[in-house]
Structure 1
Amino acid sequence: MGRRTMATEPEPQGPAGRRIGPPTQGGRRPGPRATGHTAGLTTVPTTLPAVQPLPTKGGDSTPEWLEPAMAANGIGSFDWDIRRDLIEADHRAATILGVAGPNLSLSSEAFLALLHPEDAPVVRRRVERAVAELGQCGAYYRTVFPGGALHAVRFRGRVLADAFGRPSRMVGFIWDATAELHKREDADRLAALREDRSRFIKEAARALSEAVTVRDVARVFAELPLPGLPPDGLVLAAFETGRLQVLGATGYPRETVANYDRMPLEPFQPAAEAIRNRLPIFLASRAEYQERYPEAWPKAAAAGRSAWAFLPLVASGRTIGLCVVSFDEARELDADERTLLSTLGGLVAQSLARARLHDAEHELAAGLQRVMLPRTVPSVPGVTTAVRYLPAGSGLQIGGDWYDVVPLPGGHVGLVIGDVQGHDVHAAGIMGQLRIALRAYAAEGHPPAAVMARASRFLADLDTDHFATCTYAEVNVDYGVVYAVRAGHLDPVVRRADGSSAVQSVVGGLPLGLSADQEYQVTRFSLDPGETVVLCTDGLVESRAMDLDTGMSRLCDSVAGDLPFADGDPIEALADRIANRAADSAEREDDIALLLLRWDGPEGGLAAQQLRRRIGQADLARVSELRGELRDALRRWGVAELIDTAELLASELVTNAIRHTDRDAMFTARLYREDGREPRLRIEVEDESDLWPKRRTPGEQASSGRGLMLVEALADSWGVEPRGSGKRMWFELTAGGEGN
């Protein structure tokens, strides 16, 4: 009977506000709150009192016309004399209560002792209320038979009043409700099972909707807990070109799955029939399988299953796969179970179709990206490069970001990093055209500014309504000089030899494609051996949740510091560290291109740290830039105490060269470090004039003529040397020397 109690019945009804007392005792009437003999319902005895047979008084009091109906339905009757606290019942009621004898007579305490301990208090409260209100009551309860068996019983009773309106008797019926209660329990169980199945369908739909790839769908399908019919085996297979490709399976040995993988479907197989007719096939036993598909049975028998469900996966009007659900024991699936499996097959079909489309798009994007980006980065003596590309992770996973490394005439190398507006196949196509054009301009030997101007004109002529940001840098491998041009792109980051990093400012211009006549300025900066230039696209340093300044600061932190131990080149470890931090970030929304170049020095190595620049005869502003580069170089080389003197004397030599000649001048600064001696700085300025400088003694009012006097006074040593066609002026400073 379970734990059901009288709560399943309506509360007894009676006259409102009426309070009934027990009968008078000893000629006195109790107070209005006295309950008389009904107090016996307040406790439940622990032992069952003896039952005395009732004396026969002319037979049962049940009317003759009602007796056949009660007998046919197994209904007994009872009569409870409230004043005497005596319950009398007929033989059917005694049988229902599990008491032997034709009739029974027992007190309320004895009656309560027959009930299950959990039900007795509920029955007591219902009866007491009915007595107090002169109403009726009823309930389900469990009775404990002498052997310990539990039976469900239901009763209905009404309280009758005497001539004075006081409760006198309760009469009613009692019948066995075990079968009725089992039906209710079965209905409750089925309702709970339907609720579980409904919840399962919702959870399965959610899990399958979150599955992105075919592998995800197979994993989710294999882990689904089917409510009410846990299967012993699950197989998910895709159907292509007449064959089944197993995507995922559980409950089967690996060799069994391998026997069916990529198996051609024969017409006599149940899987073939399910796919052909687009209808599920249910086989309840091994005998049914053998009878319906005798040719396929020998191979199926080896799997050891006894019941199967073959569910075709139909999406967009065509069958794309098959689900197989199997059981170890024979099982006849009911209508609800078949409906559940068919619904599951529909969900899996839609999810699998979406996942296959996603995988196809991903493969298309990956193939297109492989074509657009260089397959390999050329190796150039004197430099080491590393590249990374991270797709955005949504859509076709392709965009307009690209990188390139271009070997240039004269042993130089060109670095390109760029980003075409947009994140689709159109942007990727434009990126491919622009990459090829820019590579061609650079390979022809054009200077960086011309390369960028021609690329901008090329993109503008395509008339695509797209623009692109780009940074192009030409690296002089012999001297570590970088000539950089920036078109609306990010500044590069430089990792110094001591592990520090900083953003290298480069003069910017408009993005490519906005103006066909745009001109760009070149920024020169130098690298020491072992220093690295880092170029990237904005997906690495900018998102809706992260501004550009924060992103550049994080990039500098990633570039700086000690490099992790790696078996390969340290620059690869640095590239991995930057890329991994970007890949792990939840803020990333765009694809990322990353290009690193480390200057190792010219082949054969360098005798000293060096800064070398050419200064155009008409480029007077270049003298100011040169002073700044010289200051930065001396600070990096660790001889900052030489900066003021070297800057002053270098300015004098360079100004003298471009003022008194009509050709370009070549400036070279070298720092020599010799064992046991202080570092020595040598600065040379070469020109193609045969006119040698003359030392003069200017008057007080003269505006020139003091350059050589300053060189002679401040330098440790200086001189002029012929160079065939031209000359070389030089001076040297020693760190910690007297000339400083």
Structure 2
Amino acid sequence: MAPRPQPPRLPQPPHQPPYANQSPDWLEPAMAANGIGSWDWDIRADRLVCDARALAILGLEELGPAGGGADDGEEPAITAEQFLALLHPEDAVVVRRRVERAVASLGQCGAYYRTVFPSGEMHAVRFRGRVLADEDGRPAHMVGFVWDATVELLKRRRADRAATVREERTLFIREAAKALSEAVTTADVARVFTELPLPGIPPDGLILAVLENGRIQILAASGYDGDSRPPHDHVPLDADHPAALALRTRTPVFLASQREYRQRFPGAWAPVVGHPKHAWAFLPLVASGRPIGVCLVSFDEDHALDHEERTLLTTLGGMVAQSLARARLHDAEHELAAGLQRVLLPRRVPPVPGFDSAVRYLPAGTGLQIGGDWYDVVPLPSGHVGVVIGDVQGHDVHAAGVMGQLRIALRAYAAEGHPPAAVMSRASRFLADLDTGHFATCLYAEVNVDYGVVYAVRAGHLDPLVRRSDGSAAVQHIAGGLPLGVDPEQGYPVTRFGLDPGEVLLLCTDGLVESRRIDLDEGMERLRRVFAGAPGADLGALADRIACAAADSHERDDDIALLLLRWEGPADTRARHQLRRRIGQADLARIAEVRGELRDAARRWGVGDLSDTVELLASELITNALVHTDRDAMLTARLFHDPENGHQRLRIEVEDESDQWPKRRTPGEQASSGRGLMLVEAMSDAWGVEPNGSGKRMWFELVSED
């Protein structure tokens, strides 16, 4: 088969640059009018030829005929690398990549790049080019146009700056709102405001002032030193002053210069004379329609704020106003709660000889930070000490009020000398009679100063803990009853245990050991571990350590009361040789308890040989006082040393409030009573009856040889 004949190849016109004579007549004037230059890059010879306008756009006028950059008859030219060296390094990479891709594909390309002129000015240039092939279809030339885009660069920079400022301001508003929302107190709001970095308009001074008693008073300031204290303090609301005007009109006042300040507010100008600030923005703080203060933003140079800047500052003023109003309300509530709690709790723990004590109260972490937990230490008529820990249901103002009444009542019952069971029963009846709908848990303990015996009663409360002399700690179980106010007729059993010198008794409320995430058993074990330790430690430091380890301390939803009591042992001879006890009229079982204490005291005082006699005779006097009167009786036992005669004298006194004196009788053989005074007279070394105010005092003495 004969080969198919090929069509004849048409001759290709030689390549001519766009500025050659073949160009239309209108092209050159059009390019000149629009500032467009042309160029031709000989790819194989790596020779870039530009017309005069292109050289000017590229900053290469020195290569033109006027600059003497080329020999006669030779067009000025540069290589591709020389051209790329003129570009910004970041842009040179982009231009190279696009040109190489266009050459490879015999296509076209365009780019926007920055170039630095020999004078150091930054310019922007746009170019558009197309690759032309030779007769063999290989890339030979790239021709195109170039024009100055510096105006576009400036516009883009301004747009970028504006976008950046808007982004910064949006971020600032978000961060400021977050910081102000987390500010709890007025001091927190003042700190946050005076540390704000305003974007785009960094101020030289910031002032936060509040309206108090008709005057604008500075709360906090930054950007002012000792020599330039703010001249805007204690300004009356009706004054001719920009801050006062802003508050009265609820409208910001902007002053761009000292001249404007002087012209608009001549009456307030004098304090500003010589002041380094030259521009101000007074922003009223209005919350719920009520003016509460002023924000002041100042500058060291004249500064006319534009619309966006004023909008930003006005928005900031609104946020500060809401935060400040909330913080002031919090401060007022906190001060009210703290003041009420200070009044309801003991102002101080009275010192008791032979004891060291420490107390702590931690309010709940939420709400008004006030509650129904309380503690108390009560010196008793016997010379001993009563300790109380209690918790009224709830942690609000109502619970705190009930707590205050109950604390005072329980303290009064204890101070009258009633035994622990009677103190608790009367307190329960008192709370029930208040009819508040609240109940309370409580633990009351009477601690014997002489030899560390504790008589404790518990009404639905936590058991106490005891830290022994070896540093170990354990829960001391106490027989319990119902919470106070639930059943006013219920009695409370007494649990007796002892303390050795140096041992510590811990009483607390359930907020210390129980939370939403920690149950009671786990909390008690955690408290026991914290409480255990070396004996002799400072009780204040120990109380702080226990309080710091409180369960769920960061989000505590219950208040905490804590009381530590350490028995140091008998404080002196008087305390060691004296015992006082009140016996209630309806508490005859107390007589057996007092007899046991008298026997223990006699043994500890070194007159154990008198214990049987003193127990019998004291029981007779107490019974006589209770049977023949309708009031309580008070027993006092004292030991006196008589070094001259070489013996010790034990004196027992029983006081009552009856004016009826005892009569000595001679009972018959079958009589069931009447022998008490006969026994006292027969077995004591001395006895008698003395008047005591509205009542009397019966006494007897027993002598023991040293």
User: Shared topology, TM-score over 0.5?
Assistant: yes
Contact residue 211 and residue 351 of structure 1 kept, 8 A: yes
Contact residue 472 and residue 486 of structure 1 kept, 8 A: yes
Partner secondary structure for residue 370 of structure 1 = helix
2:193 pairs, out of 221, 225, 235, with 221
Give the drift of 1:419.
0.3
Contact residue 479 and residue 612 of structure 1 kept, 8 A: no
In structure 1, distance between residues paired with 2:18 and 2:573: 130
Q: Report what 2:395 is aligned to.
A: 423
Moved more, 292-301 or 359-368: 292-301
Q: Report what 1:605 is aligned to.
A: 573
Question: Where in structure 2 are the equivalents of 1:494-513 lying within 5 Å?
Answer: 494-496=466-468, 501-513=473-485
* Structure 2 CA distance for partners of 1:366 and 1:444, relative to 1, 3 Å: same
Contact residue 94 and residue 104 of structure 1 kept, 8 A: no
Contact residue 438 and residue 485 of structure 2 kept, 8 A: yes
Question: Where in structure 2 are the equivalents of 1:259-338 lying within 5 Å?
Answer: 260-338=232-310
Confirm whether residue 78 of structure 1 aligns to residue 51 of structure 2.
Answer: no
Give the drift of 1:139.
0.8
Deviations 1:518-576 (A, max 9, x none): 22101123344554433222222332344434444454443642445xxxxx5555545
Question: Where in structure 2 are the equivalents of 1:650-661 lying within 5 Å?
Answer: none
Q: Report what 2:129 is aligned to.
A: 157
Give the drift of 1:109.
4.5
In structure 1, distance between residues paired with 2:492 and 2:18: 125
Give the drift of 1:231.
1.2
Confirm whether residue 233 of structure 1 aligns to residue 233 of structure 2.
Answer: no
Confirm whether residue 90 of structure 1 aligns to residue 62 of structure 2.
Answer: no
**Match of 1:561, as an amino acid?**
A
Contact residue 365 and residue 554 of structure 2 kept, 8 A: no
* Structure 2 CA distance for partners of 1:610 and 1:663, relative to 1, 3 Å: closer
Q: Report what 1:69 is aligned to.
A: 30
Partner secondary structure for residue 63 of structure 1 = coil
* Structure 2 CA distance for partners of 1:138 and 1:57, relative to 1, 3 Å: closer
1:590 pairs, out of 548, 558, 561, with 558
2:420 pairs, out of 442, 448, 463, with 448
Partner secondary structure for residue 76 of structure 1 = strand
Contact residue 75 and residue 93 of structure 1 kept, 8 A: yes
Partner secondary structure for residue 454 of structure 1 = helix
Deviations 1:171-190 (A, max 9, x none): 32101122211221221122
Partner secondary structure for residue 266 of structure 2 = coil
Question: Where in structure 2 are the equivalents of 1:712-727 lying within 5 Å?
Answer: none
Q: Report what 2:531 is aligned to.
A: 558
Question: Where in structure 2 are the equivalents of 1:507-546 lying within 5 Å?
Answer: 507-546=479-518
* Structure 2 CA distance for partners of 1:434 and 1:661, relative to 1, 3 Å: closer
**Match of 1:438, as an amino acid?**
L
* Structure 2 CA distance for partners of 1:546 and 1:723, relative to 1, 3 Å: farther
**Match of 2:531, as an amino acid?**
S
Over the matched positions of the two proteins, sequence identity in percent amounts to: 66
Contact residue 246 and residue 257 of structure 1 kept, 8 A: no
Give the drift of 1:386.
3.7
In structure 2, distance between residues paired with 1:262 and 1:57: 78
Partner secondary structure for residue 466 of structure 1 = coil
**Match of 2:123, as an amino acid?**
H
Contact residue 540 and residue 588 of structure 1 kept, 8 A: no
In structure 1, distance between residues paired with 2:19 and 2:30: 20
Moved more, 177-186 or 167-176: 167-176
* Structure 2 CA distance for partners of 1:592 and 1:255, relative to 1, 3 Å: farther
Give the drift of 1:213.
0.5
* Structure 2 CA distance for partners of 1:613 and 1:401, relative to 1, 3 Å: closer
* Structure 2 CA distance for partners of 1:177 and 1:406, relative to 1, 3 Å: same
Give the drift of 1:56.
12
Deviations 1:317-342 (A, max 9, x none): 12211111111111122222222212
Contact residue 533 and residue 598 of structure 1 kept, 8 A: yes
Moved more, 428-437 or 552-561: 552-561
* Structure 2 CA distance for partners of 1:57 and 1:518, relative to 1, 3 Å: closer
Q: Report what 1:46 is aligned to.
A: none
Give the drift of 1:302.
3.4
Q: Report what 1:193 is aligned to.
A: 165
Q: Give the alignment's TM-score, normalised by structure 2.
A: 0.75
Partner secondary structure for residue 561 of structure 1 = coil
Give the drift of 1:221.
1.1
Q: Report what 1:50 is aligned to.
A: none
Give the drift of 1:80.
3.4
Question: Where in structure 2 are the equivalents of 1:112-511 lying within 5 Å?
Answer: 112-147=84-119, 149-161=121-133, 166-254=138-226, 256-257=228-229, 260-380=232-352, 383-496=355-468, 501-511=473-483
* Structure 2 CA distance for partners of 1:514 and 1:110, relative to 1, 3 Å: same
In structure 2, distance between residues paired with 1:425 and 1:79: 90
Contact residue 249 and residue 257 of structure 1 kept, 8 A: no
* Structure 2 CA distance for partners of 1:618 and 1:153, relative to 1, 3 Å: closer
Q: Report what 1:684 is aligned to.
A: none
**Match of 1:517, as an amino acid?**
E
Partner secondary structure for residue 153 of structure 1 = strand
Contact residue 363 and residue 369 of structure 2 kept, 8 A: yes
Give the drift of 1:233.
0.8
**Match of 1:323, as an amino acid?**
C
In structure 2, distance between residues paired with 1:336 and 1:436: 63
Give the drift of 1:167.
4.0
* Equivalent residues, number: 615
* Structure 2 CA distance for partners of 1:146 and 1:535, relative to 1, 3 Å: closer
Contact residue 231 and residue 272 of structure 2 kept, 8 A: no
Q: Report what 1:25 is aligned to.
A: none
In structure 1, distance between residues paired with 2:215 and 2:36: 66
Moved more, 368-377 or 472-481: 472-481
In structure 2, distance between residues paired with 1:549 and 1:456: 27
In structure 2, distance between residues paired with 1:114 and 1:418: 85
In structure 2, distance between residues paired with 1:248 and 1:131: 68
Partner secondary structure for residue 295 of structure 1 = helix
Contact residue 143 and residue 152 of structure 1 kept, 8 A: yes
Moved more, 317-326 or 468-477: 468-477
In structure 1, distance between residues paired with 2:182 and 2:575: 61
Contact residue 373 and residue 403 of structure 1 kept, 8 A: yes
Deviations 1:272-313 (A, max 9, x none): 111111111111111111121122122123331111111111
In structure 1, distance between residues paired with 2:575 and 2:143: 120
In structure 2, distance between residues paired with 1:425 and 1:227: 45
In structure 2, distance between residues paired with 1:84 and 1:248: 74
In structure 2, distance between residues paired with 1:612 and 1:268: 75
Partner secondary structure for residue 49 of structure 2 = strand
Give the drift of 1:461.
3.5
* Structure 2 CA distance for partners of 1:626 and 1:73, relative to 1, 3 Å: farther
Deviations 1:125-174 (A, max 9, x none): 21121122232211122345445554321101123456765545433210
Contact residue 653 and residue 729 of structure 1 kept, 8 A: no
